[in-house]
Chain A
């Protein structure tokens, strides 16, 4: 026990003195969280809009006003010809151009169908389709208004019953903010990056400078050596996790709805997998550089892409989906989003929790055996 304790002190001292590593472990996650927290934002709040009103009547102006009132559309440009519309779309200055044809009011008064031309700068398909939804909504409401008004004029008392109005209530993330969805995922990402790089680098460094050989000659047992590395890095991982959680709640105002202790417990299971992976990398790398390359390109990048952090796993081809089953981050992200956003606990997340536990133990045991074999 004393031996392991000496080891922990030594590791912590080394991390403390390694300025580059300190930046990687503590500064990078904070910056990552803040940048990603703002950058990973797919919300459509402002739709830059161009209006080409050929009709210039009371009705057309009324229609345009609906856009202003919606709060999503910012009517940046009013133009008088198609060339300007084309230019604005080409230059990306506007997302939508709404073109109201000449006899808009006339047709409506004649109870004919009035066409409305809308042009999209659709390179971001996601954004364009959201904008389309809003426009359709406004147009539907506007035409319903016309119908009601007309019937009213004719003295017909009608209600709009018979039509369907969905009563929408969005659970867990009522404002439908991407950030609320992304930030808990970033938490898992950061925990993974810091623990994998710490573990893989620490062992390889000892091999590179020759101290590993020195340690093997001492009566220290392999399990003591491994625990001597695991415990300090788990501690550091948790410090990082707590810092990041404080920023998440205090800065981004995303509260943890579920049990924080359960969150920390699952984080521990997740850390076990990462340390196992880190230890494995250290057994296949000869130099610190190799270890860094292997961690970043062979392990962390694919894991991030396939974890469902940014891209939904359901949309991936079936074969790729199978690969995602072996990625610990995938399960931890599900757990994180569950606890933070939905406030659910073990009763709903027990499958993911058990998988994480199983993976953690398997990876650690496997890597430890490999490590022990390698040094003998």
Chain B
């Protein structure tokens, strides 16, 4: 059964189409990654799914309820956490928990039980009277997530939950997401971090409001780039790049620190050609050339560039 079914969802702001006829399904209990550049339409889609924005056309079923005319029922069954820290800084930890629990109608024993759980996952046991503003970023983030799911929703929407959080806190945060997922909660998460995308059961990528790729990480890597990819490590990265880009057999290039990734148009080209071109013709010391399977980053850059070129034409 699908937790979320999105059908031809479209949102226009005046003449600008932010979300363009998007379709996808999210299975019950999975972690669903929603990727795309800034302004690609991720947040707009999420905001329609949680009932803040009304779609221009199309519809979606969230937990079986239409976002168009059953948004009250949708709201009862979801939790939401945005990139903005969404708790009250001028309330203490427990005051925040009590307030949101109160809004969701939790009281008595249930409240005590959930309060304990939130304090535990946020690592704030015995610190419930601390002012929220004084908590470190990572803890705040976990407290925000704990509070967002205090009513044990079936589906949780996380809109760039880890932006601006340090790597260790990010890792801890993902542990919590996995814990929720194991408990049967469906999670839809948007992110910029492609290492986070690897944790997702399913991924979609949108660009300029359109869905351009879909599948799990493995499928994306194998299905979307057929051509071989070479990873080149050389002395002069920028010079090497310039030289490579002049060659006909070079498709797309991208720099990753000291490395260059080259997608080849011509599968007869091999490592030897690169050494010849850079080292022998141009005198650039090449340390290493290796055929690799594409990373998610390669796939996304490839797909987005392809899509953007198409849009220009």
Residue B228 is within 8 A (CB to CB) of chain A in the complex: no
Residues 352-376 of A contacting B (Cβ, < 8 Å): 375-376
B71-98: contact bitstring with A at CB < 8 Å (1 yes, 0 no)? 0100110101010111111110001001
Q: Which of B99-107, B194-202, B267-275, B298-306 forms contacts with chain A?
A: B99-107
Residues in A neighbouring B105, C-beta threshold 8 A: 2-3
Residue B307 is within 8 A (CB to CB) of chain A in the complex: no
How far apart are B153's CB and chain A's nearest CB, in angstroms?
A: 10
Q: Which of B72, B86, B89, B90 contacts A213 (CB 8 A)?
A: B86
- Are B100 and A211 in contact, CB atoms less than 8 angstroms apart? no
A22-66: contact bitstring with B at CB < 8 Å (1 yes, 0 no)? 000000000000000000000000000000000000000000000
**Total number of residue pairs linking A and B with CB closer than 8 Å:** 71
- Are B50 and A217 in contact, CB atoms less than 8 angstroms apart? yes
Task: Contacts A213-B82, A214-B80, A218-B75 given; indicate if A18 touches B103 (C-beta within 8 A).
Answer: no
Closest to A6 in B: B102
Complex Cα distance, B108 from A233, in Å, reads: 28
- Are A18 and B90 in contact, CB atoms less than 8 angstroms apart? yes
Residue B54 is within 8 A (CB to CB) of chain A in the complex: yes
- Are B76 and A219 in contact, CB atoms less than 8 angstroms apart? yes
Residue B52 is within 8 A (CB to CB) of chain A in the complex: yes
- Are A213 and B75 in contact, CB atoms less than 8 angstroms apart? no
Residues in B neighbouring A209, C-beta threshold 8 A: 84-86, 88-89
A185-221: contact bitstring with B at CB < 8 Å (1 yes, 0 no)? 0000000000000000000000001110111111110
Complex Cα distance, B199 from A275, in Å, reads: 49
- Are A217 and B78 in contact, CB atoms less than 8 angstroms apart? yes
* Chain B: number of interface residues, binned into ranges: 20 to 34
Residues in A neighbouring B78, C-beta threshold 8 A: 217
Residue B251 is within 8 A (CB to CB) of chain A in the complex: no
Residue A164 is within 8 A (CB to CB) of chain B in the complex: no
Residue A81 is within 8 A (CB to CB) of chain B in the complex: no
Residue A90 is within 8 A (CB to CB) of chain B in the complex: no
- Are B102 and A3 in contact, CB atoms less than 8 angstroms apart? yes
- Are A213 and B52 in contact, CB atoms less than 8 angstroms apart? yes
Q: Which of A9-17, A166-174, A176-184, A336-344 forms contacts with chain B?
A: A9-17
Complex Cα distance, B87 from A213, in Å, reads: 11
The prevalent SS among residues of B at the interface is loop
- Are A214 and B91 in contact, CB atoms less than 8 angstroms apart? no
Residue B64 is within 8 A (CB to CB) of chain A in the complex: no
Residue B215 is within 8 A (CB to CB) of chain A in the complex: no
How far apart are B1's CB and chain A's nearest CB, in angstroms?
A: 23
- Are A13 and B86 in contact, CB atoms less than 8 angstroms apart? no
Complex Cα distance, B72 from A190, in Å, reads: 40
Residue B51 is within 8 A (CB to CB) of chain A in the complex: yes
> Looking at B51, B87, B103, which has the most chain A CB atoms within 10 Å of its CB?
B103
Residues in A neighbouring B98, C-beta threshold 8 A: 6
Closest to B90 in A: A17
Residues in A neighbouring B51, C-beta threshold 8 A: 216-217
Task: Contacts A3-B102, A6-B99, A13-B95 given; indicate if A219 touches B72 (C-beta within 8 A).
Answer: yes
B44-76: contact bitstring with A at CB < 8 Å (1 yes, 0 no)? 000000111010000000000000000010011
Closest to A4 in B: B102
Residues 138-184 of A contacting B (Cβ, < 8 Å): none
Residues in A neighbouring B90, C-beta threshold 8 A: 13-14, 17-18
How far apart are A180's CB and chain B's nearest CB, in angstroms?
A: 41
Q: Which of B88, B95, B103 contacts A3 (CB 8 A)?
A: B103
- Are B54 and A376 in contact, CB atoms less than 8 angstroms apart? yes
Residues in A neighbouring B85, C-beta threshold 8 A: 209-210
Residues in B neighbouring A216, C-beta threshold 8 A: 51-52
How far apart are B100's CB and chain A's nearest CB, in angstroms?
A: 7
Complex Cα distance, B50 from A217, in Å, reads: 6
- Are A217 and B52 in contact, CB atoms less than 8 angstroms apart? yes
Complex Cα distance, B159 from A210, in Å, reads: 13
Closest to B88 in A: A211
Complex Cα distance, B52 from A375, in Å, reads: 7
Residues in B neighbouring A14, C-beta threshold 8 A: 88, 90-91
A299-335: contact bitstring with B at CB < 8 Å (1 yes, 0 no)? 0000000000000000000000000000000000000
- Are B91 and A218 in contact, CB atoms less than 8 angstroms apart? no
- Are B104 and A218 in contact, CB atoms less than 8 angstroms apart? yes
Complex Cα distance, B75 from A17, in Å, reads: 31
Complex Cα distance, B92 from A14, in Å, reads: 10
Residues in B neighbouring A7, C-beta threshold 8 A: 99, 102-103
How far apart are B169's CB and chain A's nearest CB, in angstroms?
A: 19
Closest to B144 in A: A214
Complex Cα distance, B102 from A220, in Å, reads: 10
Residues in A neighbouring B76, C-beta threshold 8 A: 219
B154-182: contact bitstring with A at CB < 8 Å (1 yes, 0 no)? 00000000000000000000000000000
Residues in B neighbouring A218, C-beta threshold 8 A: 75, 100, 103-104
How far apart are A5's CB and chain B's nearest CB, in angstroms?
A: 8
How far apart are B145's CB and chain A's nearest CB, in angstroms?
A: 12
Residues in B neighbouring A376, C-beta threshold 8 A: 52, 54
How far apart are B244's CB and chain A's nearest CB, in angstroms?
A: 45
Q: List 13 A-B contacts (CB under 8 A).
A: A3-B103, A6-B99, A7-B102, A13-B90, A209-B86, A209-B88, A210-B86, A211-B86, A211-B88, A214-B86, A217-B51, A219-B104, A376-B54
Listed in ascending order, the chain A residues whose CB lies under 8 Å from chain B are: 2-3, 5-7, 9-10, 13-14, 17-18, 209-211, 213-220, 375-376
Considering the complex of A and B, which 4 residue pairs feature the smallest CB-CB distances, nearest first? A6-B102, A210-B84, A214-B86, A217-B80
| 6 additional contacts (CB under 8 A) given A10-B88, A214-B87 | A6-B99, A14-B90, A18-B90, A210-B86, A218-B103, A376-B54
Listed in ascending order, the chain B residues whose CB lies under 8 Å from chain A are: 50-52, 54, 72, 75-76, 78, 80, 82, 84-91, 95, 98-100, 102-105, 107, 148
